[in-house]
Amino acid sequence: MPSRFIEIKTPIPGPRSRAMCVREQQLLAPGIQSISQLSGIAIARGKGAVLEDIDGNRFLDFFAAMGVVSLGHGDRVLAQALSEQAELTSATSFTSAARLRLCEQLADLTERAGFATLRRTQLYSSGAEAVESAIRLARAHTKKFEVLSFWGGFHGKTAGVAGLCGSNFKIGLGPQLPGLHLAPYADCGRCPLGKEIKTCGLACVDFAEEVIAHQTTGQVTAIVVEPIQGTAGNIVPPKGWLRAIGELAHRHGALLIVDEMITGFGRTGTMFAAQGEVVPDILTFGKGVANGYPVSGLITRDDIVADAEPWSRPSFSSSSFGGSPLAAAAASAVVAEIVARKLDEHAASLERTLLDGLHRLAEKYSFVAQVRGRGLLAGFDLEKQGALAQRQACEKLFFACLRRGLLLLAYTPRVRIQPPLCISEAELCEGLLLLDEALDEVAGEFA
């Protein structure tokens, strides 16, 4: 049956994409996202969950620019908010109607999420910048300096946060900031401690306490944690784990920084992934909050910022672009739209379709394992002989998807699915169908 959403007219990449990428590669420094580099397509436009390249091929987007595209591609609301605000004023740190509106919206959302104490926002442009600022704020408030984060975690690539990452992003970069410590995440499908979730009694929380006891100098200012680990493979910890990590932080006089960069603003079926589990001391956000305009930030309590010298001094927690009228107008419009269109509830309503579809694939293909997810943030593992498959085999799956018009983060064995929140059930089902075909094509690679 011909697709209503996808149209593939040329070999992928098409001739125009190929030519444009070759020209750009001579000038652009290396190191851009793997998916862009591997696919070799040049994008012309998009609408909703569909992206069109300059050869006229239309792809279904199952990765949403790493979770940034919440409302969808080519969104009118964002375009209009940006153009209207740009005509008025784009940059100033003076109070603006847009920044006030955004702060009020965020305080309203945190209150509705059960985080009524989180009312004080500071705004930035990138996720790493927001997490760095959260750590500076924790240090300023607690007057302590060490930070605990988690294996597999990702919080950005700048020098201040690279050491918090429990993955290879810091390899080869020499010593990281002192005072950063890591403990195993609750990756229960592949428990780093070799335990079983039914009987472990959250042994990894006890292990984290041991890390604090044996590796730190007793000066832990914060525990930084993703409520679901995105970059690691959309790893969902068990119920109660995040709460236990919050209690651990507080037992040691540390703040709990919950990094909701990927999970925030409806992606997991609720406005924030931590709600119902724990109230963060500082919540960091970015990505989907402005649908592609670079906006990030942190939101915290009155008492924390009231006693946060020197972070709280004039000019000490600000940045050139953070909370500019343009950035605030973009985020305010996007947040209003996420709320008005109930995209959090939409994500929740599609969770069953997505997870049932993935479970069916896991039944059909023995090398598809560990299906997991919440809302429109899901994942599964590609295995070969019981272990995670090699990247080469996974790339074959990525290309098999790409040729069919499905953009999927399948080039590593921990496959991530995170389409724009506006995706329809029909689009989601079509993507799952294409994934089925692609898995069938490459099954031999995983035997």
- Please give the residue ranges that form the binding site for ligand PLP (CB under 6 A): 66, 126-128, 131, 154-156, 226, 230-231, 259, 261-262, 286
AA letter at 264: G
Query: Cα–Cα distance between 115 and 275 in angstroms, integer?
Result: 8
Nearer to ligand PLP by Cβ, of 48 and 264: the residue is: 264
Nearer to ligand PLP by Cβ, of 262 and 376: the residue is: 262
Ranked by CB distance to ligand PLP, the top (closest) residue is: 127
Nearer to ligand PLP by Cβ, of 234 and 332: the residue is: 234
Nearer to ligand PLP by Cβ, of 131 and 283: the residue is: 131
Nearer to ligand PLP by Cβ, of 128 and 402: the residue is: 128
Nearer to ligand PLP by Cβ, of 13 and 156: the residue is: 156
Q: ω before 13 within 30° of 0 (cis)?
A: yes
Task: Report in angstroms how near the CB of residue 284 gets to ligand PLP at its nearest.
Answer: 7
Task: Report in angstroms how near the CB of residue 167 gets to ligand PLP at its nearest.
Answer: 11
Distance of CA 12 to the CA centre of its chain: 27
Task: Report in angstroms how near the CB of residue 255 gets to ligand PLP at its nearest.
Answer: 17
Task: Report in angstroms how near the CB of residue 441 gets to ligand PLP at its nearest.
Answer: 30
Task: Report in angstroms how near the CB of residue 366 gets to ligand PLP at its nearest.
Answer: 31
Task: Report in angstroms how near the CB of residue 211 gets to ligand PLP at its nearest.
Answer: 20
Nearer to ligand PLP by Cβ, of 52 and 132: the residue is: 132
Task: Report in angstroms how near the CB of residue 286 gets to ligand PLP at its nearest.
Answer: 5
Nearer to ligand PLP by Cβ, of 75 and 259: the residue is: 259
Task: Report in angstroms how near the CB of residue 215 gets to ligand PLP at its nearest.
Answer: 23
